[in-house]
Amino acid sequence: MSIAPSLDEYAKRYENIRLDRHDSGVLEVTLHTGGDSLVWTAQAHDELAYCFTDIACDPANRAVLLTGAGAAFCAEIDFGSFRLGTAADWSHIMFEGRRLLTNLMNIEVPVVAAINGPALIHPEIPVLSDIVVAADTTVFKDGPHFPSGIVPGDGAHVVWTHVLGPTRGRYFLLTGQEIDARQALAHGVVNEVLPAAQVLPRARELAAEIAAKPALARRFSRVVLTHEIKRLLHEQLGLGLAHEALAALDR
């Protein structure tokens, strides 16, 4: 008997994540708060770390489609939900922060993102997808870190200097720059820009095409195509989180 997680077991486990699997085997992952656009909270942060593990360990997921509810992917944060005052508080954040991105990258089937609107809070999560389709209303910004006096060390420092290149990436993180959908396309952050109503259907089409491929071709393509960013995260994520914590405790 298999001990791998099944969707029936984990689909109702998460308050901020809706999980639906299509007949094609594509698992659709919708981030939300009360059915509307996700508000980033400590709970959402922790839920994603565990949910990505469940998704990665379920062999029935032939591909993954990541999207958001409402008009924004994630444009708000509830800073009050986070405890940031002690070393013990940061130990928890560092543990879950490492798991969040590591477990996302440990999903061994291709991931397609359907970015449905502004991604101002932790936009590194959807742009780590293998294929990124964005609404023409999308704007990217690393809102909660350096603009708020916080070190962008929880993966933003790795992802954005990788995706944008070191010079553009550092500028993006240190100035609070907003990058709209067309700029993102020109910089290689996203693959397609469409009117908002077309984004999810297009992402579903792409994910279904991937899901139809042979199992090992899907899984091993994800492994080889993500090896470099996984190496960078492995080398730099702990360093970044430690410095983010130290600077925050000094405030």
Residue 20 has pLDDT above 90, yes or no: yes
Q: One of 47, 96, 124, 244 is an active-site residue; which one? A: 124
**SS3 state at 157:** helix
pLDDT tens-digit map of 44-86: 999 999 999 999 999 999 999 999 999 999 999 998 998 888 9
**SS3 state at 177:** coil
Q: Would you state the pLDDT for residue 135?
A: 98
- Which whole-number Å values give the CA distances from 104 to 49, 50, 53, 168, 176, in the listed order? 8, 10, 7, 24, 25
Q: How far apart (Å, rounded) are the C-alpha atoms in residues 198 and 195?
A: 6
| Confidence grade of residue 2 (pLDDT, cut at 50, 70, 90) | confident
Q: Would you state the pLDDT for residue 214?
A: 98
Q: How far apart (Å, rounded) are the C-alpha atoms in residues 82 and 41?
A: 7
| Confidence grade of residue 250 (pLDDT, cut at 50, 70, 90) | confident
| Confidence grade of residue 1 (pLDDT, cut at 50, 70, 90) | low
Q: Would you state the pLDDT for residue 249?
A: 92
155 half-sphere exposure, CB direction, 13 A CA radius: 26
Mean pLDDT of 84-109: 93
| Confidence grade of residue 3 (pLDDT, cut at 50, 70, 90) | confident
Residue 37 has pLDDT above 80, yes or no: yes
Q: How far apart (Å, rounded) are the C-alpha atoms in residues 33 and 40?
A: 9
Write the DSSP string, 189-240: S-SEEE-HHHHHHHHHHHHHHHHTS-HHHHHHHHHHHHHHHHHHHHHHHHHH
Q: Would you state the pLDDT for residue 9?
A: 93
From 128, 150, 138, select the one nearest 77 (Cα to Cα): 150
Share of the chain above pLDDT 90, in %: 93
| Pair 171, 177: CB distance under 8 Å | yes
Q: How far apart (Å, rounded) are the C-alpha atoms in residues 204 and 221?
A: 19
Work out whether strand 26-31 and strand 179-180 pair parallel, antiparallel, or are unpaired.
unpaired
Q: How far apart (Å, rounded) are the C-alpha atoms in residues 166 and 157?
A: 10
Q: How far apart (Å, rounded) are the C-alpha atoms in residues 143 and 65?
A: 24
Q: Would you state the pLDDT for residue 50?
A: 96
pLDDT tens-digit map of 123-166: 999 999 999 999 999 999 999 999 989 999 999 999 999 999 99
3-class DSSP string for 35-76:
CECEEECHHHHHHHHHHHHHHHHCCCCCEEEEEECCCCCEEE
Residue 124 is among the residues annotated as catalytic for this protein: yes
Q: How far apart (Å, rounded) are the C-alpha atoms in residues 242 and 95?
A: 11
Residue 7 has pLDDT above 70, yes or no: yes
Helix (H) or strand (E) holding 161: helix 156-163
